[in-house]
Structure 1
Amino acid sequence: MKIKVKALEGKAPTGAKADIELNDDVFGVEPRADILHRVVTWQLENRRGTARAARERSDVARTGKKFGRQKGGGTARHGDRRAPIFIGGGKAHGPRKRDFEQSLNKKIRALGLKMALSDKAKNDNLIVVDSLELKEAKTQALKGNLDKLGLGKTALVIDGDAVAEGFQKASSNLVGLNSLPAMGANVYDIMKHDTLVLTRAAVEKLEARFNG
Protein backbone atom coordinates (compact mmCIF):
# COMPACT_ATOMS: atom_id res chain seq x y z
CA MET A 1 0.00 0.00 0.00
CA LYS A 2 1.41 3.38 -1.04
CA ILE A 3 0.71 6.60 0.82
CA LYS A 4 1.77 10.20 0.22
CA VAL A 5 4.34 11.60 2.63
CA LYS A 6 3.55 15.07 3.94
CA ALA A 7 5.78 17.66 5.58
CA LEU A 8 5.10 19.05 9.01
CA GLU A 9 6.51 22.40 7.86
CA GLY A 10 7.77 23.59 4.51
CA LYS A 11 7.27 21.78 1.20
CA ALA A 12 6.30 18.12 0.96
CA PRO A 13 9.04 15.70 -0.19
CA THR A 14 9.34 15.14 -3.93
CA GLY A 15 10.72 12.40 -6.13
CA ALA A 16 11.46 9.05 -4.57
CA LYS A 17 10.63 10.37 -1.09
CA ALA A 18 7.18 11.61 -2.08
CA ASP A 19 5.57 8.21 -1.34
CA ILE A 20 6.14 5.48 1.20
CA GLU A 21 5.30 1.82 0.75
CA LEU A 22 3.47 0.40 3.76
CA ASN A 23 3.76 -3.30 4.49
CA ASP A 24 0.38 -4.98 3.93
CA ASP A 25 1.17 -7.51 6.67
CA VAL A 26 1.12 -4.61 9.17
CA PHE A 27 -1.11 -1.94 7.61
CA GLY A 28 -3.35 -4.10 5.41
CA VAL A 29 -4.91 -6.53 7.91
CA GLU A 30 -8.72 -6.72 8.00
CA PRO A 31 -9.80 -5.34 11.41
CA ARG A 32 -11.96 -7.47 13.69
CA ALA A 33 -13.96 -5.85 16.47
CA ASP A 34 -13.65 -8.87 18.78
CA ILE A 35 -9.84 -8.91 18.64
CA LEU A 36 -9.60 -5.14 19.19
CA HIS A 37 -12.04 -5.40 22.09
CA ARG A 38 -10.00 -8.17 23.75
CA VAL A 39 -6.75 -6.20 23.49
CA VAL A 40 -8.28 -2.93 24.74
CA THR A 41 -9.93 -4.73 27.67
CA TRP A 42 -6.62 -6.41 28.53
CA GLN A 43 -4.83 -3.03 28.48
CA LEU A 44 -7.38 -1.25 30.65
CA GLU A 45 -7.65 -4.07 33.20
CA ASN A 46 -3.87 -4.24 33.59
CA ARG A 47 -3.74 -0.48 34.23
CA ARG A 48 -5.84 -0.94 37.37
CA GLY A 49 -3.86 -1.08 40.57
CA THR A 50 -4.24 -3.99 42.97
CA ALA A 51 -6.81 -3.20 45.66
CA ARG A 52 -5.08 -2.92 49.04
CA ALA A 53 -6.11 -5.47 51.63
CA ALA A 54 -6.62 -4.76 55.35
CA ARG A 55 -5.16 -7.04 58.00
CA GLU A 56 -7.86 -9.04 59.70
CA ARG A 57 -7.72 -10.81 63.03
CA SER A 58 -5.80 -13.78 61.69
CA ASP A 59 -3.23 -11.52 59.95
CA VAL A 60 -2.22 -9.37 62.92
CA ALA A 61 1.11 -10.32 64.54
CA ARG A 62 0.17 -10.23 68.22
CA THR A 63 0.40 -12.82 70.93
CA GLY A 64 -2.32 -15.43 71.09
CA LYS A 65 -2.00 -15.74 74.84
CA LYS A 66 -5.12 -15.08 76.86
CA PHE A 67 -4.32 -11.73 78.46
CA GLY A 68 -6.80 -11.77 81.36
CA ARG A 69 -8.71 -14.22 83.45
CA GLN A 70 -12.11 -15.38 82.36
CA LYS A 71 -14.01 -13.96 85.35
CA GLY A 72 -13.50 -11.33 87.97
CA GLY A 73 -11.63 -8.80 85.86
CA GLY A 74 -14.56 -6.43 85.50
CA THR A 75 -14.32 -6.47 81.69
CA ALA A 76 -15.62 -8.59 78.86
CA ARG A 77 -14.09 -12.01 78.25
CA HIS A 78 -11.36 -12.01 75.56
CA GLY A 79 -8.93 -14.62 74.35
CA ASP A 80 -6.20 -12.33 72.94
CA ARG A 81 -5.39 -8.81 71.78
CA ARG A 82 -6.06 -9.47 68.09
CA ALA A 83 -9.77 -8.69 68.52
CA PRO A 84 -11.01 -5.80 66.33
CA ILE A 85 -12.12 -3.74 69.35
CA PHE A 86 -8.52 -3.28 70.54
CA ILE A 87 -6.02 -0.76 69.17
CA GLY A 88 -3.62 -2.72 66.98
CA GLY A 89 -6.10 -5.54 66.53
CA GLY A 90 -7.32 -6.90 63.21
CA LYS A 91 -9.99 -5.11 61.19
CA ALA A 92 -13.43 -6.63 61.19
CA HIS A 93 -14.70 -7.46 57.68
CA GLY A 94 -11.90 -5.45 56.03
CA PRO A 95 -11.32 -5.10 52.26
CA ARG A 96 -9.81 -8.15 50.59
CA LYS A 97 -6.99 -8.08 48.06
CA ARG A 98 -8.30 -7.87 44.49
CA ASP A 99 -5.95 -8.35 41.56
CA PHE A 100 -7.31 -7.32 38.14
CA GLU A 101 -4.37 -8.46 36.02
CA GLN A 102 -5.31 -10.49 32.94
CA SER A 103 -3.19 -12.53 30.57
CA LEU A 104 -3.43 -12.36 26.79
CA ASN A 105 -1.51 -14.32 24.19
CA LYS A 106 1.34 -12.35 22.55
CA LYS A 107 0.07 -13.27 19.09
CA ILE A 108 -3.34 -11.76 19.86
CA ARG A 109 -1.71 -8.60 21.21
CA ALA A 110 0.43 -8.25 18.08
CA LEU A 111 -2.56 -8.95 15.84
CA GLY A 112 -4.59 -6.32 17.68
CA LEU A 113 -1.92 -3.67 17.09
CA LYS A 114 -1.75 -4.56 13.38
CA MET A 115 -5.53 -4.28 13.14
CA ALA A 116 -5.54 -0.89 14.88
CA LEU A 117 -2.93 0.44 12.43
CA SER A 118 -4.80 -1.10 9.49
CA ASP A 119 -8.09 0.41 10.65
CA LYS A 120 -6.59 3.91 10.52
CA ALA A 121 -5.09 3.28 7.07
CA LYS A 122 -8.32 1.77 5.73
CA ASN A 123 -10.45 4.73 6.86
CA ASP A 124 -7.99 7.37 5.60
CA ASN A 125 -7.19 8.44 9.14
CA LEU A 126 -3.47 7.73 8.76
CA ILE A 127 -0.98 10.47 7.88
CA VAL A 128 2.74 9.92 7.30
CA VAL A 129 5.10 12.87 7.71
CA ASP A 130 8.77 13.03 6.84
CA SER A 131 9.88 13.99 10.38
CA LEU A 132 8.89 15.99 13.42
CA GLU A 133 11.91 18.30 13.34
CA LEU A 134 10.97 21.96 13.73
CA LYS A 135 12.98 25.07 12.96
CA GLU A 136 11.34 26.81 15.93
CA ALA A 137 9.61 25.05 18.80
CA LYS A 138 6.66 27.46 18.90
CA THR A 139 3.17 26.24 19.79
CA GLN A 140 1.32 28.73 17.58
CA ALA A 141 3.44 27.91 14.51
CA LEU A 142 3.02 24.17 15.09
CA LYS A 143 -0.77 24.55 15.44
CA GLY A 144 -0.92 26.26 12.04
CA ASN A 145 1.12 23.46 10.43
CA LEU A 146 -1.05 20.76 12.00
CA ASP A 147 -4.24 22.48 10.80
CA LYS A 148 -2.91 22.21 7.24
CA LEU A 149 -2.56 18.43 7.67
CA GLY A 150 -6.29 18.15 8.32
CA LEU A 151 -6.22 16.39 11.66
CA GLY A 152 -9.42 15.52 13.48
CA LYS A 153 -10.36 16.72 16.96
CA THR A 154 -7.82 14.34 18.48
CA ALA A 155 -4.57 13.02 17.03
CA LEU A 156 -1.84 10.66 18.13
CA VAL A 157 1.66 11.32 16.78
CA ILE A 158 4.18 8.46 16.82
CA ASP A 159 7.89 9.03 16.17
CA GLY A 160 10.88 6.68 16.02
CA ASP A 161 13.09 5.89 19.02
CA ALA A 162 12.05 9.10 20.77
CA VAL A 163 9.73 12.01 20.02
CA ALA A 164 11.64 15.01 18.66
CA GLU A 165 12.35 17.35 21.58
CA GLY A 166 11.22 20.54 19.80
CA PHE A 167 7.93 18.97 18.74
CA GLN A 168 7.29 17.65 22.23
CA LYS A 169 7.79 21.09 23.76
CA ALA A 170 5.68 22.89 21.16
CA SER A 171 2.80 20.37 21.29
CA SER A 172 2.58 20.04 25.08
CA ASN A 173 -0.08 22.79 25.30
CA LEU A 174 -2.20 21.62 22.37
CA VAL A 175 -5.46 20.01 23.49
CA GLY A 176 -6.29 16.67 21.86
CA LEU A 177 -2.74 16.06 20.59
CA ASN A 178 -0.59 13.34 22.14
CA SER A 179 2.76 11.88 21.12
CA LEU A 180 4.57 8.60 21.72
CA PRO A 181 7.78 6.87 20.62
CA ALA A 182 7.26 3.83 18.38
CA MET A 183 7.98 1.48 21.29
CA GLY A 184 4.94 2.86 23.13
CA ALA A 185 2.46 2.32 20.28
CA ASN A 186 -0.60 0.50 21.62
CA VAL A 187 -4.13 -0.37 20.52
CA TYR A 188 -6.02 1.70 23.10
CA ASP A 189 -4.27 5.00 22.33
CA ILE A 190 -4.46 4.46 18.56
CA MET A 191 -8.19 3.68 18.61
CA LYS A 192 -8.93 6.48 21.07
CA HIS A 193 -7.71 9.22 18.70
CA ASP A 194 -9.39 10.33 15.47
CA THR A 195 -6.16 10.57 13.45
CA LEU A 196 -2.87 8.68 13.59
CA VAL A 197 0.27 10.52 12.45
CA LEU A 198 3.42 8.47 11.83
CA THR A 199 6.90 9.61 10.87
CA ARG A 200 9.05 7.65 8.42
CA ALA A 201 11.11 6.46 11.37
CA ALA A 202 7.96 5.28 13.16
CA VAL A 203 6.83 3.27 10.12
CA GLU A 204 10.24 1.57 9.94
CA LYS A 205 10.23 0.79 13.67
CA LEU A 206 6.70 -0.59 13.65
CA GLU A 207 7.33 -2.81 10.64
CA ALA A 208 10.63 -4.02 12.14
CA ARG A 209 8.79 -4.75 15.40
CA PHE A 210 6.64 -7.36 13.67
CA ASN A 211 9.21 -8.67 11.21
CA GLY A 212 11.93 -8.98 13.81
Structure 2
Amino acid sequence: MDITIKTLDGGEAGTVTLAEEIFGLEPREDILQRVVRWQLARRQQGTHKSKGRAEIARTGAKLYRQKGTGRARHGSARAPQFRGGGKAHGPVVRSHAHDLPKKLRALGLKHALSAKVRSDSLIIIDDLKASEAKTKALADKFGAMGLQNALFIGGAEVEENFSRAARNIAHIDVLPIQGINVYDILRRQTLVLSKAAVEALEERFK
Protein backbone atom coordinates (compact mmCIF):
# COMPACT_ATOMS: atom_id res chain seq x y z
CA MET A 1 0.00 0.00 0.00
CA ASP A 2 1.62 3.26 -1.18
CA ILE A 3 0.88 6.62 0.43
CA THR A 4 2.20 10.07 -0.42
CA ILE A 5 4.62 11.69 2.02
CA LYS A 6 3.79 15.33 2.71
CA THR A 7 5.73 18.21 4.20
CA LEU A 8 4.52 20.65 6.84
CA ASP A 9 4.44 23.33 4.13
CA GLY A 10 1.86 21.32 2.17
CA GLY A 11 4.25 19.96 -0.47
CA GLU A 12 5.05 16.36 -1.40
CA ALA A 13 8.21 14.46 -0.57
CA GLY A 14 7.80 11.13 -2.39
CA THR A 15 5.89 8.03 -1.35
CA VAL A 16 6.21 5.29 1.24
CA THR A 17 4.97 1.70 1.16
CA LEU A 18 3.00 0.72 4.26
CA ALA A 19 3.04 -2.87 5.47
CA GLU A 20 -0.29 -4.63 4.88
CA GLU A 21 0.01 -6.65 8.10
CA ILE A 22 0.11 -3.39 10.12
CA PHE A 23 -1.94 -0.86 8.14
CA GLY A 24 -4.10 -3.08 5.95
CA LEU A 25 -6.18 -5.12 8.41
CA GLU A 26 -9.98 -5.17 8.58
CA PRO A 27 -10.64 -3.15 11.78
CA ARG A 28 -12.50 -5.04 14.51
CA GLU A 29 -14.48 -2.91 16.92
CA ASP A 30 -14.51 -5.58 19.63
CA ILE A 31 -10.70 -5.63 19.84
CA LEU A 32 -10.47 -1.84 19.83
CA GLN A 33 -13.11 -1.65 22.57
CA ARG A 34 -11.24 -4.13 24.78
CA VAL A 35 -7.93 -2.26 24.43
CA VAL A 36 -9.50 1.15 25.10
CA ARG A 37 -11.31 -0.23 28.14
CA TRP A 38 -8.02 -1.71 29.42
CA GLN A 39 -6.23 1.62 28.93
CA LEU A 40 -8.89 3.69 30.68
CA ALA A 41 -9.11 1.20 33.57
CA ARG A 42 -5.35 1.52 34.14
CA ARG A 43 -5.65 5.30 34.02
CA GLN A 44 -8.46 5.46 36.61
CA GLN A 45 -7.14 6.69 39.95
CA GLY A 46 -9.34 4.65 42.25
CA THR A 47 -8.74 7.03 45.17
CA HIS A 48 -12.43 7.36 46.09
CA LYS A 49 -12.95 6.49 49.74
CA SER A 50 -15.61 6.65 52.44
CA LYS A 51 -15.25 5.83 56.12
CA GLY A 52 -16.61 2.60 57.51
CA ARG A 53 -17.91 2.23 61.06
CA ALA A 54 -14.47 1.21 62.32
CA GLU A 55 -12.97 4.52 61.11
CA ILE A 56 -15.56 6.92 62.54
CA ALA A 57 -14.44 9.03 65.53
CA ARG A 58 -17.42 8.75 67.87
CA THR A 59 -17.96 7.53 71.39
CA GLY A 60 -17.72 3.81 72.03
CA ALA A 61 -20.27 3.94 74.83
CA LYS A 62 -23.55 2.08 74.52
CA LEU A 63 -26.31 4.50 73.47
CA TYR A 64 -28.78 3.46 76.15
CA ARG A 65 -29.54 0.41 78.21
CA GLN A 66 -30.31 -2.85 76.48
CA LYS A 67 -33.75 -3.53 77.88
CA GLY A 68 -36.76 -1.70 79.20
CA THR A 69 -36.87 1.35 76.94
CA GLY A 70 -39.23 -0.04 74.32
CA ARG A 71 -36.76 0.91 71.60
CA ALA A 72 -34.59 -1.24 69.38
CA ARG A 73 -31.38 -2.44 70.97
CA HIS A 74 -28.23 -0.59 69.84
CA GLY A 75 -24.64 -0.82 70.94
CA SER A 76 -22.79 1.75 68.81
CA ALA A 77 -23.37 5.27 67.50
CA ARG A 78 -20.99 4.45 64.63
CA ALA A 79 -23.53 2.10 62.98
CA PRO A 80 -24.52 3.07 59.39
CA GLN A 81 -28.18 3.71 60.23
CA PHE A 82 -27.27 6.65 62.47
CA ARG A 83 -26.55 10.15 61.26
CA GLY A 84 -22.78 10.63 61.42
CA GLY A 85 -22.17 6.90 61.38
CA GLY A 86 -19.95 4.94 59.00
CA LYS A 87 -21.01 4.04 55.45
CA ALA A 88 -21.92 0.41 54.82
CA HIS A 89 -20.04 -1.18 51.89
CA GLY A 90 -18.71 2.20 50.71
CA PRO A 91 -15.96 2.70 48.10
CA VAL A 92 -12.39 1.90 49.11
CA VAL A 93 -9.03 2.82 47.56
CA ARG A 94 -8.26 0.22 44.90
CA SER A 95 -6.81 -0.33 41.46
CA HIS A 96 -9.26 -0.67 38.58
CA ALA A 97 -6.62 -2.21 36.29
CA HIS A 98 -7.18 -5.61 34.74
CA ASP A 99 -5.02 -7.86 32.58
CA LEU A 100 -5.01 -7.96 28.80
CA PRO A 101 -2.70 -10.26 26.80
CA LYS A 102 0.26 -8.55 25.10
CA LYS A 103 -0.68 -10.05 21.74
CA LEU A 104 -4.15 -8.53 21.97
CA ARG A 105 -2.68 -5.13 22.87
CA ALA A 106 -0.39 -5.27 19.84
CA LEU A 107 -3.28 -6.38 17.64
CA GLY A 108 -5.40 -3.48 18.93
CA LEU A 109 -2.70 -1.00 17.86
CA LYS A 110 -2.59 -2.54 14.38
CA HIS A 111 -6.36 -2.36 14.08
CA ALA A 112 -6.37 1.29 15.21
CA LEU A 113 -3.77 2.16 12.56
CA SER A 114 -5.71 0.21 9.93
CA ALA A 115 -8.93 2.03 10.90
CA LYS A 116 -7.27 5.38 10.21
CA VAL A 117 -6.09 4.17 6.80
CA ARG A 118 -9.59 2.87 5.96
CA SER A 119 -11.17 6.23 6.81
CA ASP A 120 -8.49 8.24 4.91
CA SER A 121 -7.47 9.85 8.19
CA LEU A 122 -3.76 8.96 8.04
CA ILE A 123 -1.11 11.45 6.90
CA ILE A 124 2.61 10.75 6.60
CA ILE A 125 4.92 13.73 7.16
CA ASP A 126 8.59 13.66 6.17
CA ASP A 127 9.74 15.27 9.41
CA LEU A 128 8.13 16.96 12.42
CA LYS A 129 10.38 20.00 12.69
CA ALA A 130 9.79 23.72 13.19
CA SER A 131 12.35 26.43 12.52
CA GLU A 132 11.17 28.32 15.60
CA ALA A 133 8.91 27.61 18.55
CA LYS A 134 6.07 29.87 17.38
CA THR A 135 2.56 28.55 17.99
CA LYS A 136 0.88 30.91 15.51
CA ALA A 137 3.18 29.91 12.64
CA LEU A 138 2.59 26.20 13.26
CA ALA A 139 -1.18 26.70 13.69
CA ASP A 140 -1.30 28.43 10.29
CA LYS A 141 0.47 25.45 8.69
CA PHE A 142 -1.97 23.04 10.30
CA GLY A 143 -4.89 25.16 9.10
CA ALA A 144 -3.56 25.11 5.54
CA MET A 145 -3.37 21.29 5.74
CA GLY A 146 -6.89 21.05 7.19
CA LEU A 147 -5.68 19.68 10.53
CA GLN A 148 -7.93 20.86 13.35
CA ASN A 149 -8.11 17.68 15.42
CA ALA A 150 -5.01 15.51 15.10
CA LEU A 151 -2.47 13.30 16.86
CA PHE A 152 1.16 13.70 15.75
CA ILE A 153 3.55 10.81 16.32
CA GLY A 154 7.25 11.58 15.93
CA GLY A 155 10.38 9.46 16.21
CA ALA A 156 12.21 8.41 19.36
CA GLU A 157 12.30 12.09 20.37
CA VAL A 158 10.03 14.90 19.20
CA GLU A 159 11.92 17.99 18.03
CA GLU A 160 11.76 20.61 20.79
CA ASN A 161 10.62 23.59 18.69
CA PHE A 162 7.77 21.57 17.16
CA SER A 163 6.72 20.20 20.54
CA ARG A 164 6.68 23.66 22.17
CA ALA A 165 4.87 25.30 19.27
CA ALA A 166 2.16 22.62 19.18
CA ARG A 167 1.67 22.52 22.94
CA ASN A 168 -0.91 25.32 23.10
CA ILE A 169 -2.91 24.41 20.00
CA ALA A 170 -6.35 23.05 20.93
CA HIS A 171 -7.18 19.47 19.91
CA ILE A 172 -3.59 18.78 18.82
CA ASP A 173 -1.54 16.11 20.61
CA VAL A 174 2.14 15.31 20.03
CA LEU A 175 3.74 12.05 21.20
CA PRO A 176 7.02 10.21 20.59
CA ILE A 177 6.73 6.76 19.02
CA GLN A 178 7.07 5.12 22.46
CA GLY A 179 3.84 6.80 23.55
CA ILE A 180 1.64 5.66 20.65
CA ASN A 181 -1.56 4.06 21.96
CA VAL A 182 -5.00 3.01 20.76
CA TYR A 183 -7.04 5.47 22.86
CA ASP A 184 -5.20 8.59 21.67
CA ILE A 185 -5.32 7.39 18.04
CA LEU A 186 -9.09 6.91 18.15
CA ARG A 187 -9.93 10.08 20.09
CA ARG A 188 -8.37 12.33 17.45
CA GLN A 189 -9.83 12.74 13.99
CA THR A 190 -6.55 12.54 12.05
CA LEU A 191 -3.37 10.55 12.72
CA VAL A 192 -0.14 12.13 11.49
CA LEU A 193 2.94 9.90 11.46
CA SER A 194 6.48 10.97 10.69
CA LYS A 195 8.64 8.81 8.43
CA ALA A 196 10.66 7.83 11.50
CA ALA A 197 7.47 6.71 13.25
CA VAL A 198 6.45 4.50 10.31
CA GLU A 199 9.90 2.89 10.26
CA ALA A 200 9.79 2.33 14.03
CA LEU A 201 6.33 0.71 13.82
CA GLU A 202 7.41 -1.64 11.06
CA GLU A 203 10.54 -2.53 13.00
CA ARG A 204 8.45 -3.15 16.13
CA PHE A 205 5.97 -5.50 14.44
CA LYS A 206 8.21 -7.32 11.98
Aligned equivalent of 1:64: none
Asked if 2 retains the 8 angstrom alpha-carbon contact of 1:163 and 1:181, the reply is yes
Amino acid at match of 2:99: S
Asked if 1 retains the 8 angstrom alpha-carbon contact of 2:52 and 2:90, the reply is no
Helix, strand or coil: the match of 1:197?
Answer: strand
Give the number of equivalent residue pairs.
191
Of 69, 72, 78, 1:84 maps to 78
TM-score normalised by length of structure 2: 0.80
Aligned equivalent of 1:37: 33
Aligned equivalent of 1:5: 5
Segments ≥4 residues shifted beyond 6 Å: none
**1:187 Cα deviation after fit:** 0.7
5+ residue gaps, structure 2: 66-75, 80-84
Asked if 1 retains the 8 angstrom alpha-carbon contact of 2:10 and 2:145, the reply is no
Of 152, 155, 160, 2:155 maps to 160
Asked if 2 retains the 8 angstrom alpha-carbon contact of 1:134 and 1:167, the reply is yes
1:47 matches 2:43: yes
Q: What are the within-5 Å matches in structure 2 for residues 15-164 of structure 1?
A: 18-53=14-49, 56=52, 84=78, 91=86, 93=88, 95-97=90-92, 98-151=94-147, 153-164=148-159
**CA–CA separation in structure 2 for the residues paired with 1:188 and 1:204:** 21
Question: For the structure 1 residues 56 and 140, does the alpha-carbon distance in structure 2 shift closer, same or farther, using more than 3 Å as the test?
Answer: closer
**CA–CA separation in structure 1 for the residues paired with 2:120 and 2:10:** 23
**1:99 Cα deviation after fit:** 3.6
**1:76 Cα deviation after fit:** 5.2
**1:95 Cα deviation after fit:** 2.5
**1:108 Cα deviation after fit:** 1.1
5+ residue gaps, structure 1: 61-66
**1:107 Cα deviation after fit:** 1.1
Asked if 2 retains the 8 angstrom alpha-carbon contact of 1:53 and 1:94, the reply is no
Please identify, of 20-29 and 139-148, the stretch whose mean Cα deviation from structure 2 is larger. Answer: 139-148
Asked if 1 retains the 8 angstrom alpha-carbon contact of 2:4 and 2:12, the reply is no
Q: Identity of aligned pairs, percent? A: 43
Aligned equivalent of 2:69: none
Amino acid at match of 1:205: A
**1:117 Cα deviation after fit:** 0.4
TM-score normalised by length of structure 1: 0.77
